[in-house]
Structure 1
């Protein structure tokens, strides 16, 4: 892996933070997630991208869009999580851009701690890991195994030493994302962004996070097809062809 770009060290400062929330059929959880993010108080703006929800989520988001710190963007058809994030990144104004899922698996109370190394100029990219030794998590064994395999494959091609490449909690300095064109429309976003960040020479800092696992019956949307596509993306982007 290439040497990481030099960081201009300066005193810790309050950075403008854009929180990007991709949403698809999350009417039961999206409001609570937004309220939890607001309660943490780290954000300059919350950008919610609805990926053509059909369960009433859009009507809820239209009410949230009236709030000063929230912007709601609507897709005209279902494109996928990666596409929703691409839309959100393009509209974000913050110095730092972070991803928050719209379900209740990830706890926004972790966000200030994840953001701190960037504020202190100690990192340019931070991932929240569900699998570090002192992380608070309860995923299924199958989920743990699948994540381990994908993360291990990603590490081989990127030179990173991650424990959780597939995590939702990814935080970037704006200038990092400005160098990356997101191509993947679905869950292939995770290995793609990890590979492209690595190819730019950035090391990714991992910190432990809390995690509350959601079953497929409760609405989890990742399946074997997505896992196969993730492996393809690891090969494509990690080996320098994408």
Structure 2
């Protein structure tokens, strides 16, 4: 394992009871480049992390997503491991996450907690929410990543430079998963261990509030990645609503001989709006498809040009190395 090429990034906020064991777990396995980005903890998180051998940076703004963005400013390694500081993930699984990156089989690896989940590690409400969100992600974006909310993943720095992260809080994992689909980043999933949170450590996640934010972010991000679903779903609901009102108006007119002119206008308006939204979604989807193809061609051309530039540089270097020898031979003959 090329440990010198890996940086372990740990966003924290009030993780003093657990951050020490997390840092030790990585350093004991040879990952000496451990970076803790702290969101202004009010306990001893920063002191404990530094005492156990981690670099500690206090982020300028709060939020896990902000921590990831700021952390990239201090990382110059080729590979990055992202993990929570709550001691629910096993540092030993880092080798398993990095293996597909080192082998060149992927540029983004997600640790799947749900593959072999212990019932005590996650409440039934959280399990239901995770599976609901993963099912929605698969339906909207067409990829099954198993556990898009996992806080344990690894990626190449080059893959992160392809995307623009904007999430501030716990929606960062969702944004990373959507970006992997949007930019066609080779992504794979590996099963990992997930342990119950230690009793002396308090969670920063609110299942209802943050779950709602994640679902909202998942739907909002579909606007640029799957506009047909984004506009088509609203259009479909509008058509269903208009059709329902229309059925009521028709029943009242033909059966009870009661006229509802206002409701009839509402019904027609809702149906027309739904059709227009659906058509707009179709057109937007076509534009996105063309843009993706153009982006793919540009990336392929850029890769080809970089390769040709590298080959040219190597040939020039070889020619430069040979020139002094030839000159020496000529001088000797003279």
- Matches for 1:80-229 after TM superposition, within 5 Å: 80-132=63-115, 134=116, 138-214=121-197, 218-223=201-206, 224-229=208-213
> Take 2:117 and 2:16, find their aligned partners in 1: how far apart are those partners?
28
| TM-superposition CA deviations, 1:57-111 (whole Å, max 9, x none) | 23324434xx4xx32111255x111111111122211111110111110001111
Q: Which of these residues, 32, 53, 57, is aligned with residue 73 of structure 1?
A: 57
CA gap of 1:119–1:214, structure 2 versus 1, over 3 A, is: same
| CA distance in 2: counterparts of 1:123 and 1:14, whole angstroms | 18
CA contact under 8 A between 1:15 and 1:95: conserved in structure 2? no
Distance 1:46 1:217, change over 3 A: closer
**Number of residue pairs the alignment of both structures matches:** 224
Contact 1:136 1:209 in 2 (8 A): no
RMSD of the alignment, in Å?
Answer: 2.3
Q: Give the alignment's TM-score, normalised by structure 2.
A: 0.62
The question of whether the paired residues in 2 share the 8 Å contact of 1:126 and 1:204 is answered with yes
Greater share of helix: 2
Would the aligned equivalents of 2:66 and 2:168 in 1 still touch at CA under 8 Å?
yes
1:199, 1:241 → 2: CA distance?
Answer: 6
Tell me the residue number matched to 1:57: 45
SS at 2:175 equivalent: helix
Q: 1:197 to 1:15 in 2, by over 3 A?
A: farther
Quote the residue 1:5 is aligned against: none
Gaps of 5+ in 2: 227-334
C-alpha contact (below 8 Å) 1:140/1:213 kept by paired residues: no
Would you say the 8 A contact 1:13–1:120 is kept in 2?
A: no
Contact 1:130–1:136 (8 Å) recurs in 2: no
Q: Structure 1 stretches of 5 or more lacking a match?
A: 1-11
Structure with the larger strand share:
1
SS, match of residue 224 in structure 2: coil
- Aligned match for 2:7, one of 15, 18, 22: 18
Larger Rg: 2
* 1:215 positional shift: 7.8
